[in-house]
Amino acid sequence: MRRALRYLICFALLGAVLAVLLVWNISAGSVYFAPGEILSALLSPPDGGIIWGIRLPRVLAAAILGGALSVSGFLLQTFFANPIAGPFVLGISSGAKLTVSLCMVLLLSRGVVISSMALILAAFAGSMLSMGFILLLSRRVRQMSMLVVSGVMIGYICSAVTDFVVTFADDSNIVNLHNWSLGSFSGTSWENVGLMALVVGAGLALSFLLSKPIGAYQMGEVYAQNMGVNIRRFRVELILLSSVLSACVTAFAGPISFVGIAVPHLVKGLFRTARPVLIIPACFLGGAAFCLGCDLIARTAFAPRDMSISSVTAVFGAPVVLCLMASRRGGRGGNP
Partner 1 sequence: MSGIKLRTENLAVGYSGRALIGDIALSLHQGQIMTLIGPNGAGKSTILKSVIRQLALVGGAVYLNGRDMAPMPEREVARRLSVLMTGHIHPELMTCFDVAATGRYPYTGRLGILSREDREKVSQCLELVHASGLAEQDFSRISDGQRQRVLLARALCQEPEVLVLDEPTSFLDIRHKLELLAILKDMVRLRQLAVLMSLHELDLAQKVSDWVVCVRGDRIDRQGPPEEIFSAEYIMELYGGTRGSYSALFGSLELERAAGEPEVFVIGGGGAGIPVYRRLQRQGVPFAAGVLPENDVDFPVAAALAARVVAERPFQSVGEDAFRQARAVMDRCRRVVCPLERFGPVNEKNRLLRDLARQAGKLEE
Binding interface with partner 1 (CB under 8 A): 81, 83, 209, 211-212, 215-216, 218-220, 222-223, 225-230, 268, 272-275, 277, 332
Select from 106, 86, 247 the least CA-distant residue to 165.
Answer: 106
Question: Nearer Cβ to partner 1, position 109 or 230?
Answer: 230
C-alpha dihedral over 233, 237, 240, 245, to 10 degrees? -170
Q: How far is CA 147 from CA 82, 125, 138, 153, 319, in A?
A: 9, 21, 6, 10, 20
Closest distance of CB 260 from partner 1, Å: 16
CB atoms within 10 A of CB 314: 20
Contacting residues for 242 by C-beta, under 8 A, at least 6 apart: 71, 72, 75, 76, 79, 87, 92
d(CA 137, CA 134): 5
- Give me the least distance between CB of 154 and partner 1, in Å please: 26
CB distance 208 to 270 below 8 Å:
no
Closest to partner 1 by CB, 82 or 101: 82
Least gap, CB of 130 to partner 1 (angstroms):
25
Q: Which is nearer to partner 1, 83 or 260 (CB)?
A: 83
CB of 133 to partner 1, least distance (A): 23
Query: In this complex, which beta carbon is closest to partner 1, that of residue 104 or of residue 278?
Result: 278
* Of 114 and 231, CB closest to partner 1: 231
Cα(259)–Cα(265) distance, rounded to whole angstroms? 10
- Shortest distance, position 173 Cβ to partner 1, whole Å: 44
Min dist. Cβ of residue 334 to partner 1 (A): 10
Rg (CA), the chain: 20
Q: Which of 272, 294, 327, 335 is nearest to 83 (CA)?
A: 327
Least distance between partner 1 and beta carbon 207 (Å)? 12
Q: Please, which residue, 10 or 26, has the CB nearer to partner 1?
A: 10
Do 245 and 68 meet the contact criterion of CB atoms below 8 Å apart?
yes
Of the pair 227, 322, the CB lying nearest partner 1 is at 227
